Amino acid sequence: MNILLFGYGKMGKAIEKLSLERGHHIALTIDKEETDKIDEIEKYAIDIAIEFSEPKSAFNNIKTCLEIGVPVVSGTTGWLDKFTEITTLCQQKDGAFFYASNYSVGVNIFFKLNEYLAKLMSSQQYGIKMSETHHTEKKDAPSGTAISIAEDILKQHPQFDKWALDIQKPDTSTIPITSYRETNVPGTHKVTYHSEIDDITIKHKANSRKGFAMGAVLAAEWLIGKTGVFGMNDMLEF
């Protein structure tokens, strides 16, 4: 595959390394200070774009690619208020778009465990709290992964109807999420159900960015030749 890579930070470089190891070619990279390169995309024989940029750039990056017929795999969070617009554009252009808040296979297994636990706990008298820890360069909070976890709980647990970031005294219907930013950490997500009797915690801790990068490259390989809007559940057949 000839790959267009949006975002050339630590994640972008990890994706590049794995792509080359798997026999692909990085035809063009566009980092946050190189937005003028977007006008040059059609000069390259791009098979697919992998988009890990910034919230303020993601929508335009994805939109531009779909408009010229380039499939997109995106992992950028913080722009999802425009997700419906991208979905509509993808359908209009008969294009292909793959989105996940987290490309780690382990995290997506964690998502399923979280859904199952929330369903089991829906009839029990437990409070709940969440936390997420990421590197200091991450622009959005809470993380897109944390939001996905919280939204999945809301679907399964009728006691809760919203989540909120960094609140000290949440009401009984709110899932509190605490965000931590630390130097040079790939990411940790934790969900705890607590009561006077005991606590139940599930946690995913990334040890490197390789799992996220591999998931993105696998998604790009999987998306080639398809049309529609997809996510990790489709690729992993959960």
Q: How far apart are CA 105 and CA 212, in angstroms?
A: 8
Hey, which residues are catalytic here?
134, 138
Is 192 in contact with 128 (CB distance < 8 Å)? yes
* Assigned token pair, 178: 């605490």
Which string of DSSP letters, residue by residue, matches 68-134? TT--EEE---S-GGGHHHHHHHHHHTT-EEEE-S---HHHHHHHHHHHHHHHHHTTS--EEEEEEEE
Q: How far apart are CA 111 and CA 93, in angstroms?
A: 31
Q: How far apart are CA 48 and CA 70, in angstroms?
A: 6
In sequence order, what are the residues at sequence separation of 6 or more whose Cβ sits closer than 8 angstroms to the Cβ of residue 221?
A: 1, 22
Which amino acid does the sequence have at 21? E
User: Cα 39 to the chain's mean position, in Å?
Assistant: 26
